[in-house]
Chain A
Amino acid sequence: MGVLALIGTRKGLFVLRAADGRDRWQIEGPLLDTWGVYHAVVDERDGTWYAAANHTTYGPTVQRSSDGGQTWRRSRQIGLPEESGLVLNATWHIEPGLPEDPETLYLGGDPGVLFRSHDRGESWQVNRAILDHPTRADVWIPGAGGLCCHSIQIDPRDPGRIYVGITSAGTFRSDDAGETWVPRNKNIVADFRPDPYAEVGQCPHKLLLHCTQPDRLWQQNHCGVYRSDDRADSWLRLDGNGLPSPFGWALMLDPDDPDTAFVIPARSMEYHYGPGGRLAVYRTTDAGATWESVSNGLPDQSWTVVLREASAFDDESVYFGTQSGSFFVLADGDTWLEAARHLPTILSVEVTSWSA
């Protein structure tokens, strides 16, 4: 089975396809030309493509296509209620619901908001409990990336258990399908705040749940890499043994092995490039106890980074795109293949299976 990659960039959506070997790629695009595609995903329940599309002049929306990207339709206007005093700044992440909820999708946005659609993305309703969360007014302070709800993870055993990651606010869990949300940031440091171990105010950069061991979550945070084995009730810090920096955005998992994860460290928020000017991927196969560099095929010197939505994984491989417009795939053992270069700034990567 081949692979189809949706590459969201600042200047539209690129589609890359490869056969099973993942060594030769065909590029199509840009689709949604001129739109910044913060995230795009194929809903594997019905094949619809969704894109969190943001235009510098015409604002945020969701675009969707039922014909493989040939034609697109915007969702009805997505917005926040007037009494909130907030307006929607950007759409960030689209998460299809579980197979038993075929009409349901979730959408994360800025300023730290979550929407749900019950009609396959035609319209979106804001989640009031996140919008009105009691910690929002005093603790949620936008960082350089705003207040973006970038990670939405649903427990495959229970559609009522949902996790969200919001920058400068933290990780939150709902056990009642979004009616209530509790902060879940225990042991996660926020060294930019007066109380570095406060209940709220941490800055997750990417949050992923493991599909076969759903009590386990991984998190690349502004301040370290973490793992939880108890549904985010507590977190264990993992970046002290082998990672050159605790900072970064990208996070990839192995669906077949809950102990394996990949990160791409960046020097710090002041620098936004890899330590030593190197683009390097680090892998753990022992649940974060140790890390090793997996960087064969990557450039020796590269002052670029991989953004929070710009990495992906499937059963066969892992993938990422850089701010400098290169798309890499781990195609042959532990060697990276640069499948595309000179694309616009890559904002997001998602992959799905594809057959010619």
Chain B
Amino acid sequence: MVRIVVPSVLASEAEGKQSFDVEAETLGDALRALPVADLLFNERGELRHHVNVYVDGEDHRERGGLVSPLEDAHEVRIVAMVSGG
């Protein structure tokens, strides 16, 4: 089980819920299980360009990207890049 923390814009799109406890093998599976997955991924299933994802404080790109196993991870944090706004 991993806890996914989302920023306020995404929380407001999920009835105010700021975190989600998700059971998933990979980071991509966990993110796609969220009720705001359509805002994180485009229609190709690609993570939107201005979305950063950190797993226990580490940029997900540094640990194998979306296919990386979550294993013992505790927290996934979604952060909007400053380049997005």
Contact = CB atoms under 8 A, between A and B. Distances in A.
Interface of A: 33-34, 55-59, 61, 74, 76-80, 82, 87-88
Q: Which 10 pairs from chain A and chain B are nearest by CB?
A: A79-B43, A57-B84, A77-B38, A58-B39, A57-B80, A57-B50, A56-B84, A56-B85, A87-B42, A34-B9
Contacts of B40: 58
B80 A76 contact: no
Decide if the interface of chain A is mainly helix, strand, loop or mixed: loop
Interface in B1-50: 9-10, 12-13, 36, 38-40, 42-44, 48, 50
A33 B10 CA distance: 12
Contacts of B85: 56-57
B51 interface: yes
B38 A87 contact: no
B81 interface: yes
Nearest to B41: A77
A53 B16 CA distance: 19
B38 A74 contact: yes
Contacts of B51: 57-58
Contact of B39 (A59, A76, A80): A59
A56 B83 CA distance: 9
Interface residues of B, number: 18
A57 B48 contact: yes
Given A57-B50, A77-B38, A87 B10 contact: no
A57 B81 contact: yes
A33 to B, nearest CB: 8
Contacts of B50: 56-57
Contacts, number: 46
A76 B36 CA distance: 10
Contacts of A58: 9-10, 36, 39-40, 48, 51, 80
Given A56-B84, A58-B39, A76-B38, A87 B9 contact: no
Nearest to B37: A77
A57 B48 CA distance: 7
Given A56-B50, A57-B48, A57-B51, A80 B43 contact: yes
Interface string B57-85: 00000000000000000000000110011
Given A79-B42, A82-B44, A87-B43, 5 more contacts: A33-B12, A58-B48, A59-B42, A59-B48, A87-B44
Nearest to A79: B43
Contacts of B44: 79, 82, 87
A87 B46 CA distance: 11
Nearest to A75: B38
Contacts of A87: 42-44
B43 A61 contact: no
Contacts of A55: 9, 39
Contacts of A61: 38-39
A57 B9 contact: yes
A57 B42 CA distance: 11
A58 B39 CA distance: 5
14 contacts: A56-B50, A57-B9, A57-B48, A57-B85, A58-B10, A58-B39, A58-B40, A58-B48, A58-B51, A58-B80, A59-B42, A74-B39, A77-B43, A78-B43
